[in-house]
Amino acid sequence: MDMANQLSPIHIACIMDGNGRWAKRRGLPRTEGHTAGEENLAEVVRVCASRNVGWLTVFGFSTENWVRPPAEVKHILSLHKKLFGRIEELNANNVRIQWIGRPFDEPSSKTPGFIQKAILQAIDDTAHNTGMVLTVAFDYGSRAELLRAAQLSRASHLTALDVSVDEISSHLYLPSLPPVDVVVRTSGESRISNFMLWQIQGAKAYFTERTWPDFDAHEIDNALKLVHAH
């Protein structure tokens, strides 16, 4: 039987917060926190795949993050290149990778060419996998996504009144992405921060005091319990 048919339909979306706080508590530079966060993301992917989660979407880099100090941005970009380069590990876990964010060919896009190349290569190199789908949100902001979807929908109609919910959905960055079942935010923050605003309608919310580098299998199981609770 195809493994995809055995997957649960659960979609977890994670706002990976607290890398800087994790580093500060240890007297380390913020960059070390981001490195630890990237390493832990690889572990979270493995755990979610072992739990037969169908979709895992993570907020890697937002449209607002470009204003961070240049050295920090450069380090985060290098980590994303590394993340998209974990092909052997992704394939070993039967994980298919995809990306969500401002389209590369649009003037507003800020994704550097070397990251674009890494993203496209990862998508191609994992396309054959039939297990969990890992979606990385990079240069992503929900307002930008919804504005674009509304503009594209409006362009084909005489009046805005003709635009439907289904049409807006069809013009999202990844129309095939299923609704989110549980949105997770780490590090004690209870905000959504412009993340998947359309897709999280009706989703449960799991907030934890743990920073992202300390987010583990126990936390994942707690988030999954919210989905299964009646």
Backbone phi and psi for residue 161, each to the nearest 5 degrees, phi listed first: -65, -20
Cβ-Cβ contacts under 8 Å for 63 (sequence gap 6 or more): 102, 110, 139, 140, 141, 144, 194
Of 65, 91, 125, 214, which one is the catalytic site residue? Answer: 65
65 is catalytic: yes
Read off the DSSP letter of residue 115.
H
Spatial distance between the Cα atoms of 207 and 15, rounded to a whole number of angstroms: 10
**Nearest Cα to Cα of residue 57 among 18, 101, 94, 118:** 101
17 is catalytic: yes
Phi-psi region of 168 (alpha: psi -120 to 50; beta: other; left: phi over 0): alpha
Spatial distance between the Cα atoms of 43 and 25, rounded to a whole number of angstroms: 22
Residue 217 CA from chain centroid, whole number? 18
Copy the structure tokens of residue 93: 């876990």
Of 2, 17, 139, 162, which one is the catalytic site residue? Answer: 17
SS3 category, 183 = strand
Indicate which residues carry an active-site annotation: 17, 65
